[in-house]
Chains A and B, each alone.
Chain A
Amino acid sequence: MQKTKKIDELEVGQELPPLDLPITATLVAGGALASRDYTPVHHDRDAANAQGLPDMFMNILTTQGLCSRYVTDWAGPDAIVTRVRTKLGGPNMPGDLLKIRGKVVSTEGKDADVEVSGNNAWGNHVTATFTLRLP
């Protein structure tokens, strides 16, 4: 099993490996339904069109789930997420490439704040700060 990072292995400014995630209709719809979010704009293109967007767009829980995976894949299985602060930006839709980047922005005791940004061709989709408690 992957080893979990220790707090003293982290440096402020340290960057996480980048993740470029192609967004598909299946991912958008699958993420919405896995979070039991049946709001039509997240699985039905016509509903999204009616709101002026060209395609169905990702719900917040899926975005958070993807970012959470990105952070704990890097930190290791014993890193505990205690807090997530999210700033929401533009939409994320099928055909977009979501570029996920992260860096350590602060450490205190056994806690570290990791700032994750997700950008696509529309600009910033999400900026989320994860607080991790490390062993």
Chain B
Amino acid sequence: MSDEKKKALEAQIRAFVGKPVGPVVVGRDPVNEPMIRQWCDAMGETHPAYLDADAAKKTVHGEIVAPPTMLQAWVMEGWAMHEGYDEPKNEQHRLHKVLADNGYTGVLGTNTEENYTRYLRLGETVKALTVIDSISEEKATGVGIGYFITTKTTFENQDGEDLGSMSFRVLRFKPANAQAAASKEGESKATAQKPSRIKPPMGHDNGWWWEKVASDGVIPIQRCTSCQKLRHPPRPMCDACGSQGFDAIAASGRATVHTFTVIHYPQFPGYEYPIVSIIVDLEEGERMASTLVDCKPEDVSIGMAVEAVIHEDEDGFKIPFFRPAAR
């Protein structure tokens, strides 16, 4: 996009800042027990103040109140939402359409912040006013370049009493890859698969190692059949004597942590974070990279004794991890 075109677009979208999305939305039903009960059923809520008038009296609330996170539910449109919309119905839709028409076809909710002034009581009617609060500079993100749009909603009851507020931030972006763009437009059917850890490619020099992990449930250590030198990670020639012959021994699994890191970001699909990553000294003298499990990140230390455990993923992939050694 040329600078001029971008300037024009930004002028157009910035004109939306400060505008109410539309008129004040008035809840279709006052705060009521059936809707609260339905919510609690779905959420598995057993909170006495939401469900039982007598028990509620013994709480700080003194009467039945609605779950706080239900606040927005009282002003949701309900059934009409299933129809979607071809023509924009309010200012928020219009803003999004301007961006979509300029190639920012992706949309992603990123953050919310709700402030609850107090819990809602039975019989109250909730009214909500939503304003387009801010639009960021154009940002480069993991999914593509785009604008963060923040809307702010204020909630009142029928008497104008403040009930709370909500900020909602969405990213409107140009999808970085064409497949994502196509799927946003509904052109491609579901292609996403449940992610799993990155698998090692199985080549001549490493495939046997992973197969042995899976079949024997041990950590193999490559051994030169000529001079008996151990080596890890495996390679096709002994760096001491030049022999290409090798077999493997099974490591005892006893090891100590040589160094470690706790990985927080970036987070890749198929892994659980934080990851306690370790380099261990195997009892046999070789070193290897692995993951420490069954250990809180704050409990790992250099020099700690660990033992191998073969982990199996949901998809059947087996990988050697370590856990703190049993005493």
Q: Is the CB of B81 within 8 A of A68?
A: no
Check A61 against B47 for contact (C-beta < 8 Å): no
Residues of A within 8 A of B (CB): 1, 4, 27, 30-31, 33-40, 48-55, 60-62, 64-69, 72-73, 77-78, 80-88, 90, 99, 119, 121-124, 135
Min C-beta distance of B167 to chain A, whole Å: 9
The interface of chain B, by Cβ under 8 A from chain A, is 35, 38-39, 41-49, 55, 58-60, 67-70, 72-73, 76-82, 84, 108-116, 119, 179-180, 183-184, 186, 188-196, 267-273, 314
8 residue pairs bridging A and B, Cβ less than 8 Å apart: A38-B78, A38-B82, A50-B189, A55-B190, A65-B67, A80-B60, A81-B116, A121-B194
If A40-B82, A60-B112 touch, does A122 touch B273 (CB 8 Å cutoff)? no
B42: min CB distance to chain A, Å: 4
- Given contacts A39-B81, A78-B59, is CB(A86)–CB(B111) below 8 Å? yes
Contact of B84 with A84 in the complex, beta carbons under 8 Å: no
Contact among B73, B183, B184 with A61 in the assembled complex (CB-CB below 8 Å) = B73
Check A84 against B114 for contact (C-beta < 8 Å).
yes
By a CB distance below 8 angstroms, the chain A residues around B81 are: 37-39
Q: Shortest distance in angstroms between B169's beta carbon and chain A's nearest beta carbon?
A: 9
Chain A residues with CB under 8 Å of B44's CB are: 66, 69
On whether the beta carbons of A35 and B73 are closer than 8 Å, the reply is: yes
Q: Which residues of B contact A53 (CB under 8 A)?
A: 190, 192
User: Contact at A83–B186, with CB atoms within 8 Å?
Assistant: no
Which of A31, A40, A77 is within 8 Å of B48, CB to CB?
Answer: A77
With a cutoff of 8 Å between Cβ atoms, the chain B residues found around residue A84 in the complex are 68-69, 112-114, 116
Instruction: Indicate which residue in A69, A83, A121, A122 contacts B114 across the interface (CB closer than 8 Å).
Output: A83
Q: How far is B183's CA from A123's CA once the two chains are assembled, in angstroms?
A: 21
Nearest neighbor of B166 in chain A, beta-carbon distance: A84
* Contacts A78-B59, A87-B110 given; does A122 touch B194 at CB 8 Å: yes
